[in-house]
Amino acid sequence: MSRRVLVLNGPNLGRLGSREPDVYGSTSYGGLVDQCQSFGAKLGFEVEVRETNDEGELIGWLHEAADARTPVVLNPGAFTHYSYGLRDAAAQRTAPLIEVHISNPYAREAFRHESVVAPVATGTIAGFGLTSYLLALQAIAEGSSQEDTSSR
């Protein structure tokens, strides 16, 4: 039986491939979905990838994950820098929550240097392109196997 993982994406991430390819790469959002689901399956995960431009919808998905004790890979997009509602929803996590970013926020504009989500996340992975998502899934898998070992 595979374990479920949610990969949640905030605003503008559905435009991957056409949005600033010099920053975010040329792979489409569909390509990201395929990569996450394929790599997740190799790790024994059923990966569901979602994207929204709506802050309230993203917060609702985090509540859903907390209620079901579902691990989350979260790219909050621009909400990273100012959404205290999203931060408060992430703080309610009951399973690992890994914040990811395709680019390195610290190598960009100053307003991108602050994350209100990072302090309540299990960890943050940034700057490795779409591989950031795969590293996050790997981190969740590693954490799961450590939990399995420590509970014996």
Q: Looking at 24, 29, 82, 133, which residue is catalytic?
A: 24
- Cβ atoms 79, 57 nearer than 8 A: no
Q: Looking at 29, 63, 84, 101, which residue is catalytic?
A: 101
- Cβ atoms 51, 9 nearer than 8 A: yes
Is the CA virtual torsion 7, 8, 14, 17 positive or negative?
Answer: negative
CA angle in degrees (0–180, nearest 5) for 138-120-16: 55
The response to whether 9 counts as a known ligand-binding position is: no
The response to whether 69 counts as a known ligand-binding position is: no
Q: 134: Cβ–Cβ under 8 A, 6 or more apart, which residues?
A: 35, 36, 39
- Cβ atoms 99, 117 nearer than 8 A: yes
Bridge-based pairing of strands 3-9 and 97-101 is unpaired
Question: Does 106 qualify as catalytic in the annotation?
Answer: no
The response to whether 75 counts as a known ligand-binding position is: yes
The response to whether 53 counts as a known ligand-binding position is: no
The response to whether 112 counts as a known ligand-binding position is: yes
The response to whether 83 counts as a known ligand-binding position is: no
Question: Does 84 qualify as catalytic in the annotation?
Answer: no
One DSSP character per residue, 10-42 reads: -TTGGGTTTS-HHHH-S--HHHHHHHHHHHHHH
User: Which residues contribute to the annotated binding site for substrate?
Assistant: 75, 81, 88, 102-103, 112
Catalytic residues: 24, 101
User: Which residues contribute to the annotated binding site?
Assistant: 75, 81, 88, 102-103, 112
